[in-house]
Amino acid sequence: MEEKMKGTAAEDALPKMLSGKVKTYVSCINVDYESSRLEDFWDIQLNVRGIPNLQESFKDYIQQETLDGDNKYWAGDEHKYQDARKGVIFTSFPEVLHLHLKRFEYDIQRDTMMKINDRFEFPDRVDLAPYLEKDADKSEPWIYKLHGVLVHSGDLNAGHYYAFLKPNKDGWFYKFDDDKVTKATMRETLEENFGGEYKSSLISPRSTFQKRTPIMRQMNAYMLVYIRESRLDRVLTPVNQEDCPPHLRKHTSL
C-alpha cells in the first residue's frame, strides 16, 4: 500500500495514522550525559501477568532500571563508569493506537508456551499524557477512545477469534463473530473481556462451602485499538460511493 501511495496525496498516510515514536535512553545520575535512540513503533506490547489494568501496564513499560555497583554504565572516556538510569519513554503516540496485550508467554517451569488468563482491565477512555517525555508536545490532549477489542477464546492450542468494533464516533460497539454481526453492550465489550475468575455468583451453590479451584475466563482481550479523541472526525471519515473505485461499486450497496 505504501508503495502505491508514493507520489500521491496519500503518501505517508499510514505512518502518520498508525506509527508513533519511542525513545530508548541511558541517563547518568551524577553527570550531564545521556545516550538515546529514537525509534518508530506500530504497536505496543504490554505485560498482563500480575498487572491489574492498562494504566499500570504503561507504568510498567516505562519503568526505569538503575545501573550501579558492578553494573555501572560506561559514559565514555570523559565520564568513565557512572551510576545511570535506563529505560524507554514515548515521545508521541499515533492517531490510531494498537496495543498488543501479552496473553501468551513462555513458562520456564513447564517448558512450554501458556496463555495468561489473568484479569486485566482497560477503560473506554484513557489519558496517555503521563507516559510521554516531559518535552513532548502537549498542546493537544493525548486522550484516547476505545474503538476496537480483539478477543481470543480458548487455550494456547485451540481457540476462537472475534472482535468488538465501534465504526463511528458515537453509538454502539458491534460484535464481529465469523459471519454474524450483532450490537454489543459496554459490559460485553469491556467487563466480559477482562479475563480473570468468574464471579462467585456464577458458581454452583453446592460448591459454596467446598474448597474449589478458581474457574478462569477463557475469553479475554489480546489487542486493543484506541483512537485519539481529538482526531476522531478525521480518522472516522464517512466512506461515500464516490470514494470507492468504479470496479468495486457494483459489489457494494453504498
* Sign of the torsion formed by the C-alpha atoms of 25, 22, 53 and 114: negative
Give the DSSP letter of residue 236. T
Can you name the residues that pair with 87 across neighbouring β-strands?
Answer: 25
Please give the mean pLDDT across all residues of the chain: 91
pLDDT tens track for 205-242: 555 555 567 788 889 999 999 999 999 999 998 888 88
pLDDT tens track for 176-185: 999 999 999 9
Q: What is the mean pLDDT of residues 97-112?
A: 91
Cα 141 to Cα 129: distance, rounded to the nearest angstrom: 8
Cα 162 to Cα 155: distance, rounded to the nearest angstrom: 15
